[in-house]
Amino acid sequence: MPFISDTLARVKPSPTIAVTNKARELKAEGRDIIGLGAGEPDFDTPENIKAAAKRAIDEGKTKYTAVDGIPELKAAIAAKFARENGLHYKPNQITVGTGGKQTLYNALVATLNPGDEVIIPAPYWVSYPDMVLLAGGTPVPVACGIESGFKLTPERLEAAITPKTKWFIFNSPSNPTGAGYSRTELKALTEVLMKHPHVWVMSDDMYEHLVFDDFEFVTPAQVEPGLYDRTLTCNGVSKAYAMTGWRIGYAAGPVELIRAMGTVQSQSTSNPCSIAQYAAVEALDGPQDFLAENKKVFQRRRDLVVSMLNQAKGIKCPRPEGAFYVYPDIAGCIGKTSAGGAKIADDEAFATALLEETGVAVVFGAAFGLSPNFRVSYATSDAALEEACGRIQAFCAGLR
Ligand code: GLU
């Protein structure tokens, strides 16, 4: 009998993390690697946030805290939701976890029974389906191709809902495509959800602050207040405040759900790092002006990457509304052979050959549930991006 559980046998390690680790290893071996795999800002955490963490250490705030977050952080989160999203939550409707990942996972573990279905628009962030599997549920991916701008349509949402649907996971701007839903597009989806009161909404708003041009960010409970009582609005400080390593994510929703998520956390990790929580208070309550500056930098990089990738033979790269990812289509490269002799049978083979022959690390599309594509994280310097896109162009030009 295998020692590893049947549940885990259905789950794979996170491919985004695998690619990031692989790039790190190759770099350590002295190879000239440009990592476009990891989804994390290259900026340093702002000084005021680091100072708040140092203060917390000096003041001895280094002990256990309330399991699902210190009152100061819950207050800062409530103020953030009111200020930025027009959403009003009491402290007992808010939970804080070790990264956005933990809050999503807690919610799934706290609610899924065997056979419960979770609708996940594809391409999706790699961890959604595997978290559903770990929690004993059934992921239901719904394909959203390049023709719909990688976005779910109301018709497809309606068709995917069954009596067993428990959650609909919504992520805008999206990891991995950067696609953002306008108010009108989101309203069309919430109208469908209003007809199905048994379906709950998990909105992953992690990329809220990374939207470009004049795109307006909106979240389901804001667009349709009728969904407030069955929506978990999830966010975190990782991407907006360049705090990926601090591991602070949070979510707000109905009291009963938040309490159940706290039970999961109290029996697994307990409180998120006390020092990181005090830093997160400063992130949310402190000056916000650098957000606009970071946005400008990311917008410039998006434009650079989209333009250079569209000049690569066999690649079509849409211009997304937000996040720091692009998700080019490489149908024009499949079936060819690389200059180094690799058969490009699928997007995984493309990404492997690209890394081996040019040193550019990207994440292959199959990991996100829509092929043939790859994900570029452009959260790295302009110089590195230009060099990497140049190498991708040369790689594509060499395909026969
Ligand atoms: N969310 C980021 C990504 O997609 C970080 C890695 C992870 O947790 O998946 O690359």
Show pLDDT as tens, one digit a residue, over the chain (400 residues). Answer: 889 999 999 999 999 998 889 899 999 999 999 999 988 999 999 999 999 999 999 999 999 999 999 999 999 999 999 999 999 999 999 999 999 999 999 999 999 999 999 999 999 999 999 999 999 999 999 999 999 999 999 999 999 999 999 999 999 999 999 999 999 999 999 999 999 999 999 999 999 999 999 999 999 999 999 999 999 999 999 999 999 999 999 999 999 999 999 999 999 999 999 999 999 999 999 999 999 999 999 999 999 999 999 999 999 999 999 999 999 999 999 999 999 999 999 999 999 999 999 999 999 999 999 999 999 999 999 999 999 999 999 999 999 9
Angle at which helices 71-80 and 274-285 cross, to 10°: 30
Q: What's the CA gap between 138 and 76, in Å, rounded?
A: 35
6-44+290-397 matches 63-285 in fold: no
Q: Give residue 341's pLDDT.
A: 97
Which residue type is seen at 166? K
126 Cα to the center of ligand 1, angstroms? 8
Residue from 21, 36, 40, 239 whose mutation best tests the ligand 1 pocket (most atoms within 8 A of CB): 40
134 Cα to the center of ligand 1, angstroms? 18
20 Cα to the center of ligand 1, angstroms? 9
Q: How many CB atoms lie within 10 A of CB 369?
A: 21
Q: Give residue 2's pLDDT.
A: 86
Q: Give residue 117's pLDDT.
A: 98
Among the residues of 255-398, which ranges form H helices?
A: 255-266, 274-285, 289-310, 347-358, 382-397
Q: Architecture of 6-44+290-397 per CATH?
A: Alpha-Beta Complex (3.90)
58 Cα to the center of ligand 1, angstroms? 32
The closest-lying atom of ligand 1 relative to the alpha carbon of residue 99 is 8
Q: Give residue 38's pLDDT.
A: 85
Backbone phi, psi, residue 343, to 5°: -80, 125
Q: What's the CA gap between 244 and 112, in Å, rounded?
A: 28
Q: What is the CATH number of domain 63-285?
A: 3.40.640.10
Q: What's the CA gap between 181 and 171, in Å, rounded?
A: 9
Tell me the domain boundaries of the chain: 6-44+290-397, 63-285
In terms of Cβ atoms closer than 10 Å to its own Cβ (0-12, 13-18, 19+), residue 10 is exposed
337 Cα to the center of ligand 1, angstroms? 30
Which residue type is seen at 295? K
Nearest Cα to Cα of residue 398 among 290, 314, 284, 303: 314
Q: Which residues pair with 121 in a beta bridge?
A: 142
Residue nearest to atom 1 of ligand 1 (CA): 39
Q: Give residue 147's pLDDT.
A: 92
Q: Give residue 175's pLDDT.
A: 98
Q: For the whole model, what pTM was predicted?
A: 0.96
Ligand 1, CB cutoff 6 Å, lining residues: 14, 16-17, 38-40, 101, 125-127, 175
Among the residues of the chain, which ranges form H helices?
A: 6-9, 15-28, 47-58, 71-80, 99-111, 127-134, 154-160, 183-194, 220-223, 255-266, 274-285, 289-310, 347-358, 382-397
Nearest Cα to Cα of residue 23 among 310, 338, 384, 371: 384
232 Cα to the center of ligand 1, angstroms? 20
Residue from 22, 42, 126 whose mutation best tests the ligand 1 pocket (most atoms within 8 A of CB): 126
Residue from 14, 124, 125, 378 whose mutation best tests the ligand 1 pocket (most atoms within 8 A of CB): 125
Residues with Cβ within 8 Å of 144's Cβ and at least 6 positions away in sequence, in order, are 121, 122, 123, 150, 151, 152, 153, 156, 370
Check if the beta carbon of residue 43 is closer than 8 Å to that of residue 242. Answer: yes
Residue nearest to atom 5 of ligand 1 (CA): 39
Q: Give residue 1's pLDDT.
A: 80
Nearest Cα to Cα of residue 238 among 94, 98, 378: 98
Return left, alpha or beta for 136; rule: phi > 0 is left, psi -120 to 50 is alpha, else beta: left
